[in-house]
Structure 1
Amino acid sequence: MTSNAFLPGLREALGAPGIAMAATFLAFGAAVQEAGLSPGWAVLACWGIYGMPGQLVLVQAAGAGWTGGVGIAVLGAVAVNARFLPMAVSITPVLSARSRWRLLPAVPFIAVTPWAAAMRALPAVDRPDRVPWFLGFGLTSWMVAGFASLAGFHLAGALGPEARAGLLFVNPLYYALLLAADLDRPAPRRAVLCGAAAAALAWLLPASVALLAAGLVGGTAAFLIGRRHGAG
């Protein structure tokens, strides 16, 4: 591992990914303020969970006084952030760590933005430098998210409902653009096409399970098609 292997990941995170991350978490901080919670709650929820859907589940539950119980809220947050498991499985061989213990520091930073950036960038990075690169990117993104949440809390009065709703979609839009840039490759193309086809399920199923079911069906279909054709 080179002494500066951490720095390229840090610099990458401060570019377009950092802007998208900051915009989304500004909206999260404003949502926390609107729910009547504290700024410390915003930062701790962000840094402790580091997954926007799970954070929003807890904001909604806490803002309502935990009427359904803390356990139900926690289970809901775990369920909506369950997507991190397949991300962790898919990125593990890419990180190419000789020891599983070297992977442990990277685990807390496996989220959509670091994962997407790493899957694109790491194949071109020397294998011994991949974990440090990911740590540089992940830690920087994590810090940006926390401080943006705090800023959003204090700027909530300047952000109308439309602005907050728009900011929440900046990071998913960035992720969608990453996929679009890779449509010349079979795997991203399958993911986009199968996901778009499965999205129709969201109109047919109850709102509580529609998005999860559509993602599960679309992702499974893309995986099985890729496995059948032996494509990457």
Structure 2
Amino acid sequence: METIKHYNLNPSIGGSFSFAWRKMFEKAFLPLLLAVIIVGLLNGPAGATWKADGHFGWQFLMFFPVILFGMAYAFLFLPVIKYGENFLFLKAMRDEEASLITIFDGFKNQYLNIILANLIVTALVIIGFVMLIIPGIIIACRLAFVSFLVMDKNMEPMRAVEKSWQMTRGHGWTIFFMAIISFFLIIAGIIVFIFGVLISIMWIHSAFASLYQAVLNEEDDDNPIPILGVNEVR
């Protein structure tokens, strides 16, 4: 009979990225890859519609329905898919069943919470960037776990915002430098064309999901969540 081992994941840049790299190539690789492709394709319409926002006069009137659709799509549909994608990566990092259908889970029971949470986070980050950019960066880093908390813990929007702020205390620089590294990973992925970008995005999502799990483990040291492959507790 195989012995069940329990591991604690270290909430660090190296720990998150190294653990993510190993886990994403295991049994959930195909669902994660397909999720990145699907979300990337679904991201397209939202980006395309915003390009019409600079037109005025009759051109604006002509593009107004497109702009309206783009806003509805960007705020009422896309966030649900992205929250589901984050949850899928979290389940993969936990070695739980990671089904592609998970990216649509938010439509079933968390739709309103996701929409409101996304609006709150977006508004707070925009306000922060208006205040000389740096506050916006700080807010974005401190609210990095909101999507995980809404999907994983079924939290209401404001509670998720408060909890993310609490959980990221002391980890803000880690999140910030992980974001910087993520930028260069995307650049490196572009250099090796489309597949490289997909792998980079998968790695980034996996790393942030791993960091979230690591911080959860920190909060519950007396009852660590089993994660295979990192820092065995003997």
Shorter-chain TM-score tier = under 0.3
User: Which structure carries more helix by proportion?
Assistant: 1
Could you say which structure has the greater relative contact order, defined with CA pairs below 8 angstroms and 6 or more residues apart?
Answer: 2
TM-score by length of 1: 0.26
TM-score normalised per structure 2: 0.26
